[in-house]
Amino acid sequence: MKYEALAKDIIKQVGGKENINGLSHCVTRLRFKLKNEAVANTDVLKNMDGIVTVIQSGGQYQVVIGNHVSEVYAQVMTAGGLQEGGSETASGEKMGLFNSFIDMISGVFSPTLGVLAATGMIKGFTALFLTVGLLTKESGTYQILNALGDCLFYFFPIFLGYTSAKKFGANIFIGMAIGATLVYPSFGSITAAGEPLYTLFSGTIFESPVYITFLGIPVILMSYTSSVIPIIISTYIGSKLEAFFRKVTPSVVRTFLVPFFTLLVTVPLALIAIGPISTWAGQLLGQGTLFLYNLSPVIEGLLVGAFWQVFVIFGLHWGLVPIALNNMAVLKSDPILAASFGASFAQTGAVLAIMLRTKNAKLKSLSIPAIISGIFGVTEPAIYGITLPRKKPFILSCVAAAVGGGIVGLMGTKGYILGGLGIFGIPSYISPDGMDKGFYGAIAAIVISFILGFILVFFSGFKDEEAVDSKSGGTARSVLVKQETVGSPLKGQIRALSELTDEAFSTGAMGKGIAIEPLEGKVYSPVDGVLTTLFASGHAIGITSDNGVDILIHVGKDTVKLKGKHFTPRAKQGDTVTKGQLLMEFDVAAIREAGYTLTTPVIISNSGEYLDVIETDQKSIDYRENLLTVMI
């Protein structure tokens, strides 16, 4: 019950369980699918103890927890009475094709990640023990460990049948039954024992011997052990058939007749058409990725290494996972994910440099667990808590990771199993023939990535500043982000920029921000800084805060045409101003009587330089209340 309070707070801040369509988790983050993301209190969640940050990407609302995410997940599921599933975005509309793909892949594969890594580690270390002579293939120890390491990947269709059915909202046992049929052992003995009845597609790359038929229809028997694509597609179609049969079957016999008809249609369809076609597609995909790799393995390695951590931030790395698994099943090895092997070590080296150089005691203390996590391949604490908020260390770590990826490409390193993360992933690169050039390339990649990440950050420096504590209003040393709180220069009703008719503001071309419909004709300084711009017409003011944030306050639309009439400046350009100082007065009634609207955008004109600009969720606001928070 350690995380019970945190779980309840998370449910409350995402909008309550009634706002949750589904929930899953990966190594470090909770992945919510919310009915309406606007309801969630993202600001509050980001500042809660126990939460690293919040990411909105791929149709998911991702709450980054850290290494103990599985425990928090269990408490959230219990506290909210939740079930995984659903396929809608925050707005309730169907996702776009790309978001749907990422959501589906993460939903299908993420539940298997822990066990997949565990069995991969066992297989990798077994291969290592065999290579160095600690075990022989004839020993019982080797055979048991090898079976344990192989079991999940060999019977992968059964496991994916479970997770796919859960993801698609189908009966999980139907999904498992489809997967079990695909890997049924007797099919292998049929192809090994007899002569084919005839051959289909002779003379083409799809040439296939036929050993059995189903109701006279030829069945192309293939090996589906370790396969990925056939079971996912078959389960998806099975989920649609199950929904249809559930609709037309009387409730009194639905319990057994729905699975009966669903399996009776889906399994033959899978063996006759879905399996062969998707297997051929998988083979083409594997050959295609290998073709691109062979064009220039070094360039492929540089690109994957450089952008891997960016992919992880947005969850886009899931798009490469099925390709890697398919390559391992079809080609018995994969060079794609191998290029990412050095990324976590580059990130870890960068954090070590920060820990040694910083004078911030709290940052030092938080760097230690981030380094430990990074060594074992979990980099979210390092990314979100330390390197990304400081920008330069994150970029430099990506440079170091790119070099590691280039080394992997140059040395021809390939992964032979999807094993553990970080140092536990090392045995994954041992070839069935032993430690070859590619294996030593993997070792060189992680060592050089780590050293280079450390050197680049240590000698280039980084921001090690004080940050505004948004909870207390005081100043505190922060390892997450530095925040600039922009107060409201006006009193009035809040409007979204998108509501404005002036496209320069409504499209965000001028920068991120918010608009205010003023109730009074006074403008106060929202920050401490310098009044850098005061238009002669008086209708617009530019202020640069002490932290370098540029703020534009533009009173009304087209009010420049008034040429200063009805506007009275109370400060002059170049003045040093303090937060809450009166800068200008204007005659609300006269300006409106002249035919002008007074909706006033407050813009962070250099918002592109910052991590984010977060608007207030209030509907109305008074002078000096928090209007915008700039994440520096």
CATH number for the domain harbouring residue 605: 2.70.70.10
Residues 251 and 318 in one domain: no
SS3 assignment, position 605 = coil
**Range of lowest pLDDT (104-108, 205-209, 212-216):** 104-108
Asked if 355 and 243 sit in the same domain, the reply is: no
Cα 571 to Cα 548: distance, rounded to the nearest angstrom: 20
Residue 91 pLDDT level (bands cut at 50, 70, 90) = very low
Token readout for 575 is: 């003045």
* Burial status of residue 551 (CB atoms within 10 A of its CB: 0-12, 13-18, 19 or more): buried
Determine, yes or no, domain membership for 103: no
pLDDT digits 0-9 by tens, 14-64: 999 888 888 877 666 788 888 888 889 988 898 888 887 888 765 678 888
- The verdict on 442 and 569 lying in the same domain is no
pLDDT of residue 480: 42
With both helix axes pointing from N to C terminus, report the angle between 113-131 and 140-154 in degrees, rounded to the nearest 10: 150
Domain for residue 476, yes or no? no
Kindly give the residue spans of alpha helices, DSSP state H, lying in 35-155. 42-46, 69-80, 97-109, 113-131, 140-154
Contacts of residue 588, Cβ cutoff 8 Å, sequence gap at least 6: 518, 519, 520, 521, 598
% of the chain with per-residue pLDDT over 70: 86
26 noted as active-site residue: yes
Give the count of domains, the chain. 4
CA–CA separation, 287 and 293 (whole Å): 10
* Average pLDDT of span 391-412: 93
Q: What is the pLDDT of residues 127-156, one digit of tens each?
A: 778 877 898 888 999 999 989 988 887 898
Do 178 and 266 belong together in one domain? yes
- Is residue 110 in some structural domain? no
Domain that holds residue 40: 4-95
pLDDT at residue 463 in the model: 66
Residues 501 and 456 in one domain: no
**Which is more confidently placed, 301 or 610?**
301
Stated pTM of the model: 0.51
> How confident is the model over 307-333, as a mean pLDDT?
75
At 604 the pLDDT is 92
| pLDDT range class, residue 468, cuts 50, 70, 90 | very low
Q: Is the pLDDT of residue 242 over 90?
A: yes
- Identify whether 129 is part of a domain: no
The answer to whether residues 319 and 368 belong to one domain is yes
Please give the average per-residue pLDDT across 265-276, as a whole number.
Answer: 93
**Do 487 and 452 share a structural domain?**
no
* Minimum mean pLDDT range among 169-173, 290-294, 426-430, 591-595: 290-294
* 358-368: pLDDT as tens digits: 887 767 877 88
Decide if 125 is inside a domain: no
DSSP summary character for residue 197: S
Tell whether 324 and 421 lie within a shared domain.
yes
The Cα 607–Cα 372 span in angstroms is 34
Domain boundary among 62, 80, 95: 95
* DSSP β-bridge partners for residue 219: 212
Q: Are 270 and 302 in the same domain?
A: no
| Candidate list 26, 352, 355, 442, residue with the active-site label | 26
Which is nearest to 181 in space by CA: 155, 163, 220? 155
140 domain residue, yes or no: no
Does residue 450 lie in a domain region? yes
Instruction: Please report, for the domain that includes residue 65, its CATH number.
Output: 3.30.1360.60
Tell me how far apart the alpha carbons of residues 368 and 105 are, in angstroms, rounded to a whole number.
33
**DSSP 3-state of 565:** coil
**Domain match, 243 and 322 both:** no
Same-domain pairing of 413 and 314 = yes
Question: Mean pLDDT, to the nearest integer, of 282-300?
Answer: 77
Among 95, 129, 163, identify where a domain stops: 95
Same domain for 87 and 40?
yes
Q: Is the dihedral of CA 85, 90, 91, 95 positive or negative?
A: negative
pLDDT at residue 581 in the model: 93
